[in-house]
Every structure is written in C-alpha cells, then in structure tokens.
Structure 1
Amino acid sequence: MTNSLRTPQVSAVLDRLFAAADEDAARPPRPNPGDAQGRADAMQDIYMPVSVAGGKLLYALTRAARPGTVVEFGTSYGISTIHLAAAVADNGIGHVYGSEMSATKLDAARLNIKEAGLGAHATILAGDARETFEAIEGPIGFVLLDGWKELTGDVLRLLEPKLAPGALVVADDITFPTMADHLAYVRDPANGYVSMEFPVEDGMEISCYTGA
C-alpha cells in the first residue's frame, strides 16, 4: 500500500520544514498585535506547525476516513497540509482546502506543497477563513482547526452545516487556555459530537460529527 510520507520527495520537504520549525522554537516569544491580520503579518516567519506525531496522526485519520473534502483552518508553511494532501493522494479521492492570512506564508506554503509533488491535491485560499470558507461546498468529511484559537468557534460554526455525518473535526493545541470554549462545545453531546483527547505534543481533540 502506498505511503507518500515515505517517498524521498515528500520526506525531504517535511524534514526541511520541521528543522526550520525547531529553530523557531528556540527563539524568544514575540508580542502579538491584537487583531488576527496583524498577528498573521507580524508572525509571517514563524512556522507554528503540528508536531511530527500530529502530522502522522492527521495522515492516518485522513487515510481511514477517505473524505472527499478536507478543510484546514491555518495553513502556515504547509506542514500539516502536506500530510493531509499526501493522504488524499494515496486514497485516490479528495481535495484539501487550506487558509492563510499571511501573504508570505501563503506563497511559501504553495511552493512547499508543489515541491512535495502534491500541488494537484491542495488549494490554499488567501485571506480570512471566516470569509473564504463560505465558498467551499459540502459535504465536508474532515476538518483541521489549527488557526488563531479564538476564531476556532467561528470557523467551526461556519462549516458545521456542511459537515457530513461521521465527519472528523481535529483541533490542535488543545492545552492552550484559548481552546477551552471549543472543548466545551464539542464535548457536550447536545451539540452532536463524540469527542476525545489524543495525547500528542500540545494535544489534539478528535471529534466525530454525528449529524444529530
């Protein structure tokens, strides 16, 4: 069975990007401007990636779910996008739609995805996901929430009417205090999710949308 993550073309790009992200982690933290676009512009050279284990988990879940449409909130330099796009490529079905507010990161992510040989499987939309995601048609089978944490709820509510029953919604960095509202929402059965925490790095929440 094909696993594109192991191919030299994909693994070389991921190795390079993860190495650059590790260098970022050693830098002192920066103050963040208040609005989302200001932060995106100020942090245009910061990777903010999923972890190595988190990337593999995204690949495995996407391979298993075989979604026709994958939506990613927060592309950054494209590390998570490459894992998702590799999975849909190996499935032989599906397409990834990402989002990025930083023009610098948008250009870099597109180049990284192309370098990995996965450009045909992912489209990165420029701008605020709360606007660009409106044009994405359902049913959506897989969602990754890894953008600005305080916008996670808005993005999920926008996509929710388009979610297929059984769709997976994965949220990264759930140990951040700003993710508390999201966790409360998906962990309340009244909102139609079966949800559990998965212990990778800063934590991922895996929620299955029951459609009920």
Structure 2
Amino acid sequence: MHWSASQFEHTVKSVNSTLSSPAVSAVLQRLSLAESGNDAEAFAVAGTATSVSYPIDIGAAERAELFKNVYMSVSSDGGRLLYLLARAIGARTVVEYGTSFGVSTIHLASAVRDNGGGLVIGTELQADKAAAAQRNFVESGVDDLIDLRVGDALTTLRDVPGAIDLVLLDGWPELALPVLRLLEPRLRPGALVLVDDVDLDFGSDVHGPLASYLADSANGYLSMTLPIGDGIEACVRL
C-alpha cells in the first residue's frame, strides 16, 4: 500500500496522545521547572533541610500547611508510567489520594481522555495547593475530566461512584492503607493500585503497614516495586 505525504501526516497526528498535546506539555514543563527550582528551598523553610524528615507527631492539617509550597510531584518517568498503565487497562475511573499541584493528575486525566473519557477523582487537604492544581487543570485543558475534592481523604473519597479502574496513593503515607481500605469495595478485578515514593526515607517505617498488607496474598493483591523516581509499588487487584 502506498501512502501519500498527506495521508501519513494525518495518521501521525491521529495517534498523538493528549499527554503530548501543546497545552498539556506546556503545563507539565512549567511545573517541572518550578519544582526543580523550588522544592529544596521549600523543604528548608519547612525545617527539613535537604532531606525529608517526617513530622509524624503533628496533625495532618498542620503538616499540609507546613509543606504547602512543596511540590513533591511524581517524577517525569513516573508520570509517563501512570499514563501508560492507565491506557493499558483502559482506565475510565481513577482515584488519586494526594493531588498536590496536579502533575500526576494531569497524566492520569490525559490517559482517561485517550481511553474515551471518564473521571479522575482527586483529593487534596491543603486548599491553596488545590486551587493552584485546579488552575493547572484548566490551563492544560483536562479540567472537564477531573473532580478535585478538598479536605480529608477519608471523608472526600467516601462516595466514589461506580467501579474503580486505578488508584494512585501519593499522599501522607500513614493514611495510605486506610484510604485503600475505604476504596477496596469499589475496586474492580484487575484494577491497579500504584503507590508513589515507597523508597523515600521518611525517617520512620510509615510505609510498613501498607507494604505488609499488599504483600499478604490473602488480601487479594499481587505487587512489585518498580525502580522509577523514588520507587513506585505497582499492584493488581486479583
């Protein structure tokens, strides 16, 4: 079969992903540059110097306020992995615990759009971050696919509609297991659960309960740790 130049150009354009669209690419690049120039100073202001010290002795709201200027976004490779996995399973309903400034949310929403549409339900405790994330969603053109809820995840995620295809746990780690248990009745067989920053040293074994839970086959998961960014645990609901 012989293709003309115009046919080839049309075919290439037709397979372009939302992730590579000008609006999405521009927002993700801006956020990446902002994070690289911001987080070290923001951590220092929060009293954590150049390493992450986990202030587990303070409440979640106080901690969120302390870290309100810290991005701690999924890595570039991690974001692409989120997109690829969400596309691979045809995810239409996605839940994200810990939205921050919306980098991972934009990757997931891009995948949902390319899967034919659906909804990414995000939750963020810190109101200023949530407002900034919403602006980023509008600028990138994926806001129509995102339901961003502000507040405690154990409250905001109580009423997730329908069956869940993919869950990203990327908030304060001591709440990750309770959030997962809250969502479990909605997980469809074959749903993916992704946990970011599992190799990050928080100064205490805050990942322990979730890691033990996912490792126990009696709980219905098969998982492995992927060496991407600060570690991503990829789990399938059996």
TM score, norm. by length of structure 1:
0.95
Distance 2:90 2:117 in 1: 7
Q: Helix, strand or coil: the match of 1:92? A: coil
- Partner residue, 2:195: 171
Q: Calculate the aligned-residue CA RMSD, in Å.
A: 1.2
Q: In the alignment, is the contact (CA less than 8 A) between 1:197 and 1:205 conserved in 2?
A: yes
Distance 1:47 1:158 in 2: 26
- Partner residue, 1:128: 152
Aligned residues: 210
Distance 1:199 1:78 in 2: 22
Could you tell me which runs of 5 or more consecutive residues in structure 1 were left unpaired when the two chains were aligned: none
2:36 aligned with 1:22, yes or no? yes
- Partner residue, 2:19: 5
Question: C-alpha displacement at 1:39, in angstroms?
Answer: 1.0
Deviations 1:128-180 (A, max 9, x none): 11001001123111000000011001100000111101100000011134212
- Partner residue, 1:60: 84
Question: C-alpha displacement at 1:198, in angstroms?
Answer: 0.8
AA at the equivalent of 1:25: D
77, 80, 95: which is aligned to 1:71? 95
AA at the equivalent of 1:57: L
Q: In the alignment, is the contact (CA less than 8 A) between 1:138 and 1:164 conserved in 2?
A: no
181, 184, 198: which is aligned to 1:160? 184
- Partner residue, 2:126: 102
Deviations 1:24-45 (A, max 9, x none): 3332542447111111112111
Question: C-alpha displacement at 1:23, in angstroms?
Answer: 1.6
Question: C-alpha displacement at 1:91, in angstroms?
Answer: 1.1
- Partner residue, 1:203: 231
Distance 1:198 1:66 in 2: 21
Q: Helix, strand or coil: the match of 1:134? A: coil
Distance 2:16 2:146 in 1: 19
Deviates more, 1:40-49 or 1:110-119: 40-49
AA at the equivalent of 1:12: A
Distance 1:68 1:80 in 2: 16
AA at the equivalent of 2:38: D
Could you tell me which runs of 5 or more consecutive residues in structure 2 were left unpaired when the two chains were aligned: 1-14, 48-54
AA at the equivalent of 1:8: P
Distance 1:2 1:175 in 2: 33
Alignment of 1:21-60 (within 5 A): 21-27=35-41, 28-29=43-44, 30-31=46-47, 32=55, 34-60=58-84
Q: In the alignment, is the contact (CA less than 8 A) between 1:186 and 1:194 conserved in 2?
A: yes
Q: Helix, strand or coil: the match of 1:135? A: coil
